[in-house]
Homo-oligomer: A and B are copies of this chain.
Amino acid sequence: MIRRPTLAVVAEAAGVSLKTASRVLNREPNVAAATRERVLDAATSLGFRRNAVAADLARGGFSRLVGFITGDLANEFYSALASGIERELREHGLQLLTASSDEDPEREGSLTGELLERRVGALIVTPAGADHSALRAEIAAGLTVVVVDRPAAGIDVDTVVIDNRGGTRAAVGHLLAHGHRRIAFVGDEPHLWTYQERSAEFLDVMRDAGVPDAERWLRSGAHDAAAARELVAELFAAPEPPTAVLAANNRATVGTLQALRDLPGGDGVAVVGFDDFELADLLGITVVAYDAVEMGRLAAELAVARSAEPDRAVELVVLPTRVLPRGSGERRPR
């Protein structure tokens, strides 16, 4: 729909050659100040915009834009990641463009294509898909790819994750130490790597503690608070309800708190949430915390380092987690 003048029209209006007009608009040196002024005036009044993609390619293909493909824009965890990434990129004069895959592998693929076609300089991805080998040719051609929160399958790239198993072990151990045996695990979609790590560790720790049938209290599908709320309400409506809940992500925690508020005696149920959130402190919610902003910052740092030095060794960074006791996780079973 956009009608734009070509470079030739701008050059003609400014009374200069095509080559001179091009040099001015690509910010190249060695053009007289008066000529530069004339070209810029013509370009502005005609509404000309240089084609940044063509210009980037002419300069060697490097773009100041970095693409971030995230799982869900409305989730506080991804916002924290994005702000960490953005802060670090800004230090290097780079700009972040964010797009959401909504945890859909197919959308992740098409977004990757859209961003690459627009020649972003690097891609940071929280992988929803199970296979990223389609990116192999791009990486071989020099594209920087960094994955964050979950590893990528089929490609060997810089990766930043947290210690999901360690965090889960600490959380379940915390509840066991406070006398709980009937502990529920309310987690995200089963195809997500973080769910798989956390749920497997939950079952391991429970079995080691002499609770071999903990699958009874294992639930998945809590990708938003409403789904978690329903899952928790069902858990407590069944015979032998749990006395404690490990809510395995921040959405699950909110849904768990909503369900327990509506349940008689719900305020006596112990809760530990995976992921800290802004109001957890005010609400007295014990959580498994880690630094999500730092996680984003590290991913951006790796993207910058890789772009500068494509042959450096691939890095895997694992961030630590810790349990922050705030009251809800220290309740004893009744």
Contact = CB atoms under 8 A, between A and B. Distances in A.
Interface of A: 1-4, 44-47, 49-54, 60-62, 64-65, 73-76, 79-80, 82-83, 86, 95-100, 110-111, 113-114, 116-119, 121, 137-138, 140-144, 225, 254, 257-258, 261, 278-279, 281-283, 307, 310
A172 to B, nearest CB: 25
Contacts of A51: 53, 117, 119
Nearest to A83: B74
A1 B278 contact: no
B64 A74 contact: no
B98 A73 contact: yes
A1 B61 contact: yes
A73 B82 contact: yes
Contacts of A52: 114, 117-118
B2 A141 contact: yes
A257 B281 CA distance: 11
Nearest to A79: B74
A97 B73 CA distance: 11
A203 B80 CA distance: 35
Contact of A137 (B44, B117, B118, B282): B44
Q: Which of A2, A3, A62, A143 lies at the interface centre, i.e. has the most chain B CB atoms within 10 A of its CB?
A: A2
Given A82-B73, A142-B3, A98 B98 contact: yes
Contacts of A258: 281-282
Contacts of A95: 99, 110-111, 114
A48 to B, nearest CB: 9
A3 B45 CA distance: 36
Contacts of A119: 2, 51
A53 B86 CA distance: 25
Task: Rank and list the top 4 A-B pairs by shortest CB-CB distance, nearest first.
Answer: A52-B117, A47-B137, A2-B142, A74-B83
A39 to B, nearest CB: 16
B278 A261 contact: no
Contacts of A137: 44-47
A47 B140 contact: yes
